[in-house]
Amino acid sequence: MTGTGQQLYYFDNYASTRTDPRVVEAMLPYFSERYGNSNSRSHGFGWAAEEAIDLGRERVANLIGAKAAEVLFTSGGTESCNLAVFGVARMYAEKGKHIVTTAVEHRAVMDPIRALEREGWEVTYLPVDQTGLIDIDALKGAIRDDTTLVSVIFGNNEIGTIQDSAAIGAVCKEKGVIFHLDACMGLDTEVIDVDAHGVDLLSMSGHKIYGPKGIGALYVRRRRPRVRLQPMMLGGGQERGMRHGTLNTPGIAGMGMAAELCRLERDADKVRMTALRDRMYKAFMELDEVYLNGHPTQRLPGALNVSFNFIEGESLMMGMPDIAVSSGSACTSATLEPSHVMRALGVGEDLVHTSIRFSLGRFTTAAEVDHAIEQCMGSANKLRDMSPLWEMFKEGVDMSTIEWKHD
C-alpha cells in the first residue's frame, strides 16, 4: 500500500524482497526475550544468542555447500563485497597488485576496485557480449603472475544474466588465483556449491533472499586454499578476527531462516517465477520495437529488463503509478547517468533510457503480473500515440538519417 491507501503492485524484488513472515517469526524472540550478547558466555542470555548465531551460520553454510566455520556475518552485501575486495588486495599486496573483474559489476565491487586503482593497483575489466556474459578465454588471458584476485558477479542485478561461475572457478584454480563471487543476487533460486564452483569468497545479502535488511554474510574458504583477509574494522575479535563487532543476533537468526527456506523451496520458486516472467515477456513482445536486455535463457528467473523503443522510461513509469518497478539498479537509479551495465552490453543510448526492470519474487502472483501487463502496455501505447517520432518510424522514416538541430 502507498501512503494514500492506493494498492501498489511490487515488481522491484531485485532492489529488495519482502521479509518472509516465517523469517520475522524466527527473529522476534531475539529482540525481547533472548536479547543477550553472544560474547557473554557466563550466563543463559549469552548462550541463547550464541545458539541462534550457530544455527544461522549453519543454515547459511548449507545453502552454498560450505562449512559453518567458513561463514562470516556482516552488515549486508555491500560490506561483504568490500571486505572481500579490500581484504584480499591488502592481505596479498606483496604477491601482486593486479585484479581482474568485469565491466558489469555492482558498485559494491566496482567502487572498492576503483579505489584500489587510485592507490596503485592495476585492474583488468573484462568486457561482456551483448547478452552480458564474459568470455572464459579472455579471462584466462587476463590473469597474470601478479594477479591476486578475480571478482565476478553471479546474477546481474540489472539484467539478470548469470555468469558461468563453475567455469570461472576452474580457471582461477588452474591459475592459483583467489576467486570472489558476488552472489547477492540469485541464491533464492540458483544452486551454488562453493567447492564444485571453485569459489574462495562468496558475498551474500539477507534482504535479497526474503530476509531482513542490515545483515549479510561472506564465505571465506579455510582449506585448499586457506584465504586470509585484512579486516576493515578492529576491536572485539569476532568472526575469526576478520570482521570485528557485536553480532546482530536477530538479523543472523533471520538470515539463517531465510537461507533455509531458499534451500528447501528454491526449485519450486524458480519454476513458478520463470513461468510468470515468461508470461509477462510474451505479452510485451506483442508490441513492436520491444527489446530484451540480457541473456535470453541464462538469467535469473525473476529478471525482465526490457527496452520500449521511442518511449522514455521515466514517462512509462509515470503512466503506471501503481506498479513498483525500476528504470535501473536501485543503488544508482537516483542518477540520470546511463547504466554502466547497459553501456557494457553495447545498448544504444536511446534504448538505455527506454529500459524498465521488472523483477518478480516469491510473493508475486499471476493476478499481479496480469495487472502489470495491462498497465504497462496501456501506458506504452498511449505514449507512442502522442509521439511524433513513433509516427515517423511507422511511416518508414529511417531515424538514423535525421540530422537534429540544437540551439
Distance in angstroms (rounded) separating the CA atoms of residues 110 and 112: 6
Which of 222, 217, 192, 195 is CA-nearest to residue 206?
A: 217
DSSP code at position 134: P
Q: How far, CA to CA in Å, does 332 sit from each of 105, 107, 314, 326, 379?
A: 13, 9, 14, 10, 24
* 3 state DSSP class of 205: strand
Give the three cell numbers for residue 145.
Answer: 603472475
Distance in angstroms (rounded) separating the CA atoms of residues 56 and 257: 7
Say if residues 324 and 18 touch (Cβ distance below 8 Å): no
Element (H, E) at 320: none
Which of 350, 369, 278, 346 is CA-nearest to residue 308?
A: 350
CA 259: distance to chain centroid?
16
Could you say which of 172, 184, 262, 331 is catalytic?
331
For residue 212, whether the previous peptide bond is cis, meaning omega lies within 30 degrees of 0, is: no
DSSP code at position 208: G
Known catalytic residue at 172: no
How would you classify the pairing of strands 147-153 and 98-102? parallel
Residues assigned a catalytic role: 331
